[in-house]
Amino acid sequence: MAVDKNTRSIESGIETDFSGKLSYGSYLQLDRLLSAQVPVSRPEHHDELLFIIQHQTTELWFKLVLHELAAVRRLLQADDLRSALKGIARIKHIQHILTEQWSVLATLTPAEYAEFRGDLGPASGFQSFQYRAVEFLLGNKNAGMLKVFEGNPAAHRMLAGLLEQSSIYDEFLALLHRRGYAVPERLLARDFRQAHVFEPELVQTFKHIYEHAQENWEIYEACEELVDLEDNFQLWRFRHLKTVERIIGLKPGTGGSSGAGFLRKALDLTFFPELFAVRTDIGRPGAGGGSAPATGRRSGT
């Protein structure tokens, strides 16, 4: 009898009866997950499923990013910098996936999107509360954004809570202070409801860290990880902008924004301004500004 070499037999030990047992599908609740794609276009447009899945998967990744950022914040508070950096490393991998996802949506042509865009009404990615939560945890606080979520009490509560809390950059600066680095006291007791504002005195502290990396290796590495995090976020913003331009050009957004123009303004926002400003001063004698001691450490430590 001929053996079909293109068929793999099921091994005897493989489970096939899942009556009353946890299966792959039930563990992942695939019935709920795969029924959550509900196109609104009538007749249903072929490409709307792509549009829905693109945004749903983005929100799932945002959920994991928020999970990791919350852990990073707790670890920084506990002075466990190495574990915090592990969490940031995972977030960076997620960011790469989020950025690459735009290339899938970019296969949607302007004509294809125009056929169902009107069915979306005022729904817009601007209304993503998880995206705002990520920005809040990274330090881009904006109390005005809460108004968008007044109709969603759970999302509003979440963002209102994060608005009051320190960001991961606030906690990183607090960790530096505890370890004896020159961080202005006013930054440790600032109003966390406000976005972090550029602090010239910090530049001198970071300049010392970068110019004496071997003696400050763990902190130096943390600085570079934060720079990676912001770089990745900006790349995601840029790909978002270019994808929008590719599909709708300069049309206004469905949620009422100016569209590409609004997204372009976001490229000027920064989470960790001193970590970028210090690059201008590294290697320049006497550069860096501020009153921090030349050692980058607080006097007496």
Question: Does 204 show up as a binding residue in the annotation?
Answer: no
Q: At what angle do helices 200-211 and 273-281 cross, to 10 degrees?
A: 60
Positive or negative, the Cα torsion across 60, 64, 69, 70?
positive
Q: What SS3 state is found at 297?
A: strand
- Annotated ligand binding at 97? The verdict is no
**115, 110, 6, 130: which is closest to 61 by C-alpha?**
130
Measured CA to CA, the distance from residue 56 to residue 59 in angstroms comes to 5
Q: How far apart are CA 55 and CA 126, in angstroms?
A: 12
C-alpha atoms less than 13 angstroms from C-alpha of 103 in its C-beta half-sphere: 5
Tokens found for residue 164: 């009051």
The residues that bridge with 167 in the sheet, in sequence order, are none
- The answer to whether 51 is a known ligand-binding residue is yes
Q: Is 298 annotated as a binding residue?
A: no
Residue 9 DSSP one-character state: P
Q: Is 58 annotated as a binding residue?
A: no
Closest CA to 79 of 177, 164, 161: 177
210 is in an annotated binding site: no
7 is an annotated ligand-binding site residue:
no
Q: Which residues are annotated as a binding site for heme?
A: 240
Q: Which residues are annotated as a binding site?
A: 51-55, 113, 117, 240, 254
Q: Which residues are annotated as a binding site for substrate?
A: 51-55, 113, 117, 254
